[in-house]
Amino acid sequence: MRKINFVLFLGGLVTLIFVLSSCMNIPAFVPSNMIYVATQEGINVIDGQANTVVANIPINMNFGFMAVNPNTNLIYVSSPASNTITVISATTTQILTTIAVDGVTQLAVNPNTNLIYCIDNEGVSVISGISNTVTYTINFSNGQYRFMSSGLYAIGINPTTNKIYVCSHSYPYSIVNIIDGNTNNVIGNVRINDSYIPKLVVNPTTNEIYALVPDIYSYGAIIIIGGQTNTVVGNINFEFDSPVDIGVNPNTNLVYITRASGILSVVDGSTNQLITTVTATQGLTGSIGVNPTTDMIYVSNSNFYENTVDVINGQTNTVIKTIPVGEEPGEIGILY
């Protein structure tokens, strides 16, 4: 009888705490330092404190892309095969809704305006993070900015200046188009004498844009654009060793570049000079995610069916943990 009374008391206590929490408006659990890795099984969720996989979100990305809004704790995943963007709650790891976008590929989020920008068959669609609907389409139909959807490749955002950068191809060169997020108008462009740019990354602190140029005729590079002048201000060359992906830590102004040889290059963003390189047993050739708060860098790796994510300490530039994940890990998103 005493045991039953104790259980009843405990249950009543839990209920009382729940009621008091609701009345006192105690905030719900807010995830932080979480890493999201796209795999064939879905999105593996890694706890950045424990460096272990703690959950899996079953979704077929179909070689899509991922973006995270740290202000709303929402994850956006594009799926080109199904022409959708899936909205996922980082708090519950549950799918909230899907947004139909024809021909969607790359996407990026401005956490300050709560707007999502994605490349699709129409050009660049602007999606409200509140209504989860397309509110505007930038179709690049004004003069020299006219490009078919197949000519749009990469997108990046500077949330501080509210500028969106979209790379398009116009043989034999590429153009980085600059969009004013306040008006959705193309306000300028920067021509780069290379034919294909699959990745753009922005450092909002220095207002510099990094365009990745893969190996073409044994030459690869990172082209650096100054956001103030909208001109090319520097480049980082990689002869016979193509860059694969790029990430930036705006707090330390360090740039991380995975290369085809399996080396991770660490570059000083103030001088554009190589500081050091990082190696791992099976190589570091995949996608990069950077947590500027913890100064940890994450690199996916599917070489030799390894299926891992390597964790690099940004202070020591060493691999501190290798985490087994699902098959063919790719895109990495960070909630910091």
pLDDT-derived band at 7, boundaries 50, 70, 90 = very low
Which are the contacts of 3, defined by CB distance < 8 A and separation ≥ 6?
Answer: none
User: In this predicted structure, what is the pLDDT of residue 195?
Assistant: 65
pLDDT given for residue 218 in this prediction:
59
Percent of the chain with pLDDT over 70: 85
The C-alpha atoms of residue 127 and residue 139 are separated, in whole angstroms, by 14
Stretch among 216-220, 245-249, 328-332 having the lowest mean pLDDT: 216-220
pLDDT at 225 over 80: yes
- Name the CATH code of domain 140-240 (choices 2.40.170.20, 2.120.10.30, 3.90.79.10, 3.40.50.1820): 2.120.10.30
Please report which residue ranges of the chain form alpha helices under DSSP H: 2-23
Q: What is the pLDDT of residue 220?
A: 85
Give the tokens for residue 263. 């080396």
Q: Cβ distance 226 to 203 under 8 Å?
A: no
Say how far apart CA 254 and CA 234 lie, in whole Å.
15
- Alpha-carbon distance of 59 to 174, in angstroms, equals 33
- Residue 331 confidence (pLDDT) above 50: yes
Query: What pLDDT is stored for residue 78 in this prediction?
Result: 93
What is the layout of strands, in order, in the sheet containing 231-239?
Answer: 199-203, 208-213, 219-226, 231-239
Per-residue pLDDT at 15 exceeds 70:
no
Q: What CA–CA distance (Å, rounded) separates 64 from 106?
A: 7
In this structure, are residues 214 and 167 in contact, taking their beta carbons and an 8 Å threshold? no
Q: Which two tokens stand for residue 25?
A: 């408006």
Strand-strand pairing, 42-47 and 34-39 = antiparallel
Q: List the chain domain ranges.
A: 140-240, 244-336
Q: How confident is the model at residue 214 (pLDDT cuts 50, 70, 90)?
A: confident
* Helix, strand or coil, per DSSP, at residue 30: coil
Position 81 scores a pLDDT of 85
Q: Under 8 Å CB-to-CB from 184, ≥6 apart: which residues?
A: 126, 136, 138
d(CA 254, CA 266): 7
Segment among 135-149, 273-287, 321-335 with least mean pLDDT: 135-149
> What contacts 335, CB < 8 A, 6 or more positions away?
31, 32, 33, 34, 35, 36, 68, 70, 73, 75, 90
Q: DSSP 3-state assignment of 294?
A: coil
| SS3 call for 63 | coil
The percent of residues above 90 in pLDDT, for the chain, comes to 65
Dist. CA 66–CA 38, nearest whole Å: 8
pLDDT digits (tens, 9 = 90+) for 305-316: 789 999 999 999
Q: Is the pTM of this model over 0.95?
A: no
Burial of 223 (0-12, 13-18, 19+ CB in 10 A): buried
pLDDT digits (tens, 9 = 90+) for 39-87: 988 999 999 999 999 999 999 776 689 999 999 999 999 988 889 999 9
Phi and psi based region of residue 170 (left: phi greater than 0; alpha: psi -120 to 50; beta: remaining)? beta
CA 183 to chain CA centroid, nearest Å: 24
Q: Which is nearest to 137 in space by CA: 156, 117, 161?
A: 117
Tell me, what's the pLDDT at 257? Answer: 96
| 76, 87 contact by CB (below 8 A) | yes
Contact 266, 281 (CB under 8 A): no
Structurally, what CATH architecture does the domain formed by 244-336 represent? Beta Barrel (2.40)
